[in-house]
Amino acid sequence: MSEKKWSTIILFIIWLLIVPPGIAYFLITQMPESINYAYLLLFIIFGVLTAVFPIMMNGQPITLVMWATLPAFLMYGIAIEMIIMQLSVLAILFVKKSSQKKSHRFFINSIIMFILSTVAAGAFFVVGGKTGSMDFWTLLIGVAVYRLVHTTTNLGLLNMYFEAMGLKSPFTTKDNIFEYATLILILPLAVTFYLMLNMVGIASFLLLGFPFFMTITIIRLHSRSEKINQYIKKAGQIGSELSVMTDEESVSTQFIKKTSELFRADYVFLFTNHDEWLELEKWYEKKRFVDRPFQTVQLGEGIAGMVFEKKEPVIYSKRKDWEQYATNSAPEELESVLCIPLTHNNETNGILLLGSNRKSAFGEYQLKILDLLGSYYIVALEKARYVYEALQRSERCALTKLYNYRYLEEKLHFEMNRMSMGDINDLSLIMLDIDHFKKVNDTYGHQSGNDILYGFARILEKALPENGTIGRYGGEEFVYILPDFSKAEAVDFAERLRLHIKQHAFTIIPDLGEDKYPVKVSVTSSVGVANAPTDTDEAMNLLRNADRALYIGAKQAGRDRVAEYVR
């Protein structure tokens, strides 16, 4: 049995030993002789409505239910107050979103509220308060103490609970100050309500209830507006952060992390579009990326496939609403789902799916904000892709896709500086040239020559040692820059590479004749090797030495051989 289930069972036992017997005791010993059941029903309705429509602050619901329970306490005593408060606790379960099970939440809240009712009532009577009294000052002092003790004990019990469960308290100092500040609202409201009930009667529920709920509605609307503005502001900040990134992987990673944080999502799934199917590119679960095998989703398959097919976002509040559409890979704890197509210029680039273990975790306004955030992401991704391609064009040879001469020269100076600072001990340079390459072009055509250059580059790239660099020096010449390679190691590597090239056959389609059929062509290479600090301690001299070894030591000696620079 899981730890959560054990804690719920323990709470149930504690609740069973405390709350039902306690309420039964107070109902027997503290039940008033006469009750106006119309008042009782209205107290219950007001208490439940107040619980169902709380004020939201920092994502936490603040319920002012005591404005209804306190007058009930002053009129009928602790037994009636407990009944109203416990019913309000039940109502709160259907409002507050939490990853905890409702049974667990009910038991802990019910126990706490029972304790609070008992302790606060005790404090009320200790300072001389009396239920049913119309002595204003005695009443005011008693209610003030009641509310103060109730609030202080509540915060203390909650902190003790979070500490016992090994959790960080969600209440900030600002929340605590707000809780005490409600004294200013609850105190006069509760006392006025009680006095009006005694003087005006049932009309008091209308005179005070209507303005109260109107005020709460206005506050909730304002709070919602502020919350939406905060979301939009944070989404704009995330968009700004993404826009300055020049790496696609960094853009995707940052986007997923920030989106998960903003929407308090337990899961984020990012799918990329491959026309008729989706690929699950990223799986982010509980603040970490999960390595998963290659997974695909077909058009119309699962929630992501449905959104992909219809090009319309969806929101699901609980598991049973979407379970019939889900694939087998859906996490067991997943409840709420928010899924949108990532579109730009009327094209769907992918699908983003957020998941939460809480029910009703996402709202309609969040869908619109996520759509805005998705647009920021697609634009940032395209910008990063453009920057990367531009960088590749400036550093790479368009034909072979290897680094070009400009990059090789910068890299050579960089590695030589590393050697001078002692970061590496050796730096070897290998220069290769394809033998009789002009004959290849004259025999088979320049396009065939280009095909051989491209295939030759792939062989060199595949053979590249770790931390080395390979690039096209110009024409049919190529250069390896090999940090921490001794001269002997470089010669040995070059010799093995030369033999491999000699044994390889390139398949080309000649473009000089009318017959277009594949032919096999073999080439050989001449190689020159130079090393620093053995041969020189200057970057350009190292390049010239390898060039000299290539032409004097290899080509002039008959080609198809490796030559090292000799002073």
Residue 220 has a pLDDT of 63
On whether both 183 and 85 belong to a single domain, the answer is yes
347-356 and 267-273 strand pairing? antiparallel
430 shares its domain with 493: yes
Same domain, 168 and 273: no
Domain boundary among 145, 169, 201: 201
Q: Is 219 part of a structural domain of the chain?
A: no
Burial of 7 (0-12, 13-18, 19+ CB in 10 A): middle
223 domain-assigned: no
Instruction: Give the whole-angstrom CA distance, residue 153 versus residue 151.
Output: 6
**Residue 143 lies inside a defined structural domain of this protein:** yes
Residue 218: per-residue pLDDT: 67
Is 183 within the bounds of a domain? yes
Over its length of 567 residues, how does the chain's per-residue pLDDT go in tens digits?
556 677 778 888 999 999 999 999 998 998 888 888 898 898 888 888 877 776 655 555 566 788 788 899 999 999 999 999 888 888 877 655 554 567 778 888 889 999 999 999 999 999 998 988 888 888 889 989 998 998 899 888 888 877 877 777 767 777 778 777 777 777 888 888 888 888 888 888 888 877 777 766 766 665 666 667 777 888 888 888 888 887 888 899 999 999 999 989 999 999 998 877 888 889 999 889 988 767 888 888 889 899 998 889 999 988 888 988 877 677 888 899 999 999 877 788 889 999 999 888 888 888 888 888 888 888 888 888 877 776 666 788 889 999 998 889 999 999 999 999 999 999 999 999 999 999 998 888 888 999 999 999 999 999 999 999 999 998 999 999 999 999 999 999 999 999 999 999 999 988 776 667 889 999 999 999 999 999 998 999 999 999 999 999 999 999 999 999 987
Domain boundary among 201, 222, 254: 201
Q: How far apart are CA 55 and CA 440, in angstroms?
A: 81
- How many Å apart are CA 158 and CA 172, to the nearest integer? 13
Overall domain count for the chain: 3
Residue 309 lies in a domain: yes
- Beta strand segments in 300-346, E: 314-316, 336-344
Amino acid at 103: S
Long-range contacts of 192-197, Cβ-Cβ distance < 8 Å, separation of 24 or more: 193/67, 193/68, 193/70, 193/71, 194/70, 194/71, 194/74, 194/75, 194/139, 195/134, 195/136, 197/39, 197/71, 197/75
CATH number of the structural domain spanning residue 60: 1.10.1760
φ, ψ for residue 44, nearest 5 deg: -65, -45
Instruction: Say whether both 91 and 179 belong to one domain.
Output: yes
- Shared domain for 494 and 551, answered yes or no, is yes
Q: What is the CATH classification number for the domain harbouring 280?
A: 3.30.450.40
CA angle 46, 60, 237 (to 5 degrees): 140
**Taking the alpha carbons of 285, 290, 293, 296 in that order, is the dihedral positive or negative?**
positive
* Residue 211: inside a domain: no
Do residue 385 and residue 409 come from a single domain? no
The pLDDT, as a whole number, for residue 96 is 57
Residues 477 and 387 in one domain: no
Q: pTM (2 decimals)?
A: 0.51
154 within domain boundaries: yes
Spatial neighbors of 59 by CB under 8 A, at least 6 apart, are 264
Three-class SS state of 61: strand
Which helix (H) or strand (E) segment holds residue 429: the answer is: strand 427-434
Q: Are residues 159 and 277 in the same domain?
A: no
**What CATH number should be reported for the domain holding residue 553?**
3.30.70.270
Q: Are residues 279 and 351 in the same domain?
A: yes
Say yes or no: 7 and 153 in one domain.
Answer: yes
Instruction: List the one residue out of 50, 399, 95 whose CA is nearest residue 205.
Output: 50
In a domain, 461, yes or no: yes
Q: For residues 549 and 565, is the Cβ–Cβ distance under 8 A?
A: yes
Contact 456, 523 (CB under 8 A): yes
Residue 55: strand pairing partners: 62
Domain that holds residue 28: 3-201
Q: Residue 302 — left, alpha, or beta (φ > 0 → left; ψ -120 to 50 → alpha)? A: left
Are residues 475 and 428 part of one domain? yes
Please tell me whether residues 154 and 29 are part of one structural domain. Answer: yes
Q: Report residue 531 as tokens.
A: 């090393």
**Cβ neighbours of 81 (radius 10 Å):** 27
Collapsed DSSP state (helix, strand, coil) of residue 318: coil
The residue out of 143, 167, 201 marking a domain boundary is 201
What CA–CA distance (Å, rounded) separates 466 from 444?
A: 35
278 close to 327: Cβ distance less than 8 angstroms: no
Q: Are the C-beta atoms of residues 466 and 424 closer than 8 Å to each other?
A: no
